[in-house]
Structure 1
């Protein structure tokens, strides 16, 4: 950290990783602009002492208004962007409608890229800036019944890698954070999306969906090696302050493990491991269970 107060825009701060990172960076002296989609969450964030405003990355109009407000607040200078907003639409690929897939991509991919593009002219004029995308272990290792989310994170990683190459020598860095299981409302939010978009009782996968619903509605961590949100904050700080930030920061043991396994194992072997680690039971739809 320098004597200059550094500023950051963070999306998706209503709970979980975004909320923890907003408070954590503010405590470290950053000027944090914490955004949320719902005005009620914005009001709560303000009551917690954060500089907050409404921003729905699924809306181009909201992004335009939000960036205009941000630049007024920070006098046209901003040091970093953490694209954190995101959610999952669970369900088998064959049960995903075009509307469900579009809904998934609007926030997880299109919104993150559009917001980054809106701030790039500011970063270019400054000759410096940090863009950090919150991806996932599922951005490189797919698991069943997460097709829309898997695809959105794979796409996000492709955009981020390309953007990093295109910004080479500009003074603007692009990094990906790839968390595994983190304490958050992700599963609760995913359950809401599942009931909204998937007609479970009409699906071939209905037996497997019953198993999946138990996992989504389970209280407390549903996977081994689950870490608190602080784990993401720790690597975000590195991405924002290290002289030469890494292209990727892997968080949790499963992320690191699957990163290496993907490079060492045949695809068929990795598939079996990922099926087992997913916590769901695709085999139940075929009248069998995993051993």
Structure 2
């Protein structure tokens, strides 16, 4: 059955890849790709034209009341909450302004958009919400506490909505990408060099060339996301690759036996 899908953060990374992959699947779905700034809209439209697929691109800066209101004029079947940012650094030293920015972008803004679409989905009696969480929302690496905290929050929000909305005919799913080469991890680490000052910091910071070896091709993860959106994959939680799922399960189990 044909569905209308809105993807946020489609200007780059998993959002862009998912928008193009879903359109390329030629399953008859209407794909609305939301991007943060106008130059991304032009570039993504050009990419869709080169690929020979139909892709409706809109400007959707989640901070913009105008953009959110425009997005809410669409009647959609699936909302893929993908837009997000990451600021790295130790929690003792990262500026609180960046912690707040992480929560505004990764938690509060997508929740506000979701609440708007939930109202329409409840009235219709159907719909699906997919959250792009992270493996970092299930286990916390050093230097990533601010980002992980937002993804732990998304895990709680998704789990709550899953139970609250199930009787209304609305399903909720999560995807938790592992370590993929989309540029997201690289820029998250680079951003910390703009504020980190070893003369005043309480703890050591990242040191170039960082620890970004081993990032994987994102296409297999994009394939998983497409299957979750279309319903081919019906799992609620989708940690990928499988090796990361096993690692996460072991890390969570080990926390029960940690000693001070």
TM-score, normalization: structure 1?
0.79
Give the corresponding residue for 1:262: 251
Higher helix share: 1
Q: Which residue of 2 aligns with 1:90?
A: 88
Task: Determine whether 1:123 maps to 2:121.
Answer: yes
Aligned to 2:128, the other structure's residue is in SS state strand
- The answer to whether 1:57 aligns with 2:48 is no
* Gap regions ≥5 residues in structure 2: 49-54
User: Does the Cα contact within 8 Å between 2:80 and 2:229 map onto a contact in 1?
Assistant: no
Q: Contact 2:139–2:252 at 8 Å: present in 1 too?
A: no
Residues 201 and 10 of structure 1, relative CA distance in 2, 3 Å threshold: farther
Deviation of 1:93 (Å) = 0.3
Write out aligned runs for 1:170-189 (5 A). 170-189=168-187
Within-5 A mapping of 1:1-291: 2=1, 5-29=2-26, 30-49=29-48, 50-68=55-73, 71=74, 77-206=75-204, 208-210=205-207, 213-215=208-210, 222-224=212-214, 226-242=215-231, 245-266=234-255
2: distance between equivalents of 1:28 and 1:243? 13
Contact kept in structure 2, 1:22 and 1:32, CA below 8 Å: yes
> CA 1:21 to 1:200, structure 2 compared with 1: closer, same or farther past 3 Å?
farther
Question: Is residue 133–residue 177 contact of structure 1 (8 Å, CA) maintained in 2?
Answer: yes
Shift of 1:86: 1.0
d(CA) in 2 for partners of 1:270, 1:104: 30
SS at match of 1:25: helix
Q: For 1:35, what is the secondary structure of its paired residue? A: strand
Which stretch of structure 1 is more off in the superposition, 89-98 or 249-258?
249-258
Q: Which residue of 1 aligns with 2:51?
A: none
Greater CA drift, 178-187 or 254-263: 254-263
1:152: how far off? 0.5
Query: Partners in 2 of 1:202 and 1:139 — Cα distance?
Result: 29
TM-score after normalising by structure 2: 0.88
Total equivalences in the alignment: 252
Structure 2 CA distance for partners of 1:215 and 1:65, relative to 1, 3 Å: same
- How far off its partner does 1:267 sit? 5.3
Q: Deviation of residue 195 (structure 1)?
A: 3.2
CA distance in 2, matches of 1:201, 1:64: 45
Deviation digits for residues 128-187 of structure 1, max 9, x if unmatched?
111100111110100100111010100111111111111122211111101111120112
Aligned Cα root-mean-square deviation (Å): 2.3
How many angstroms does 1:117 deviate by? 0.8
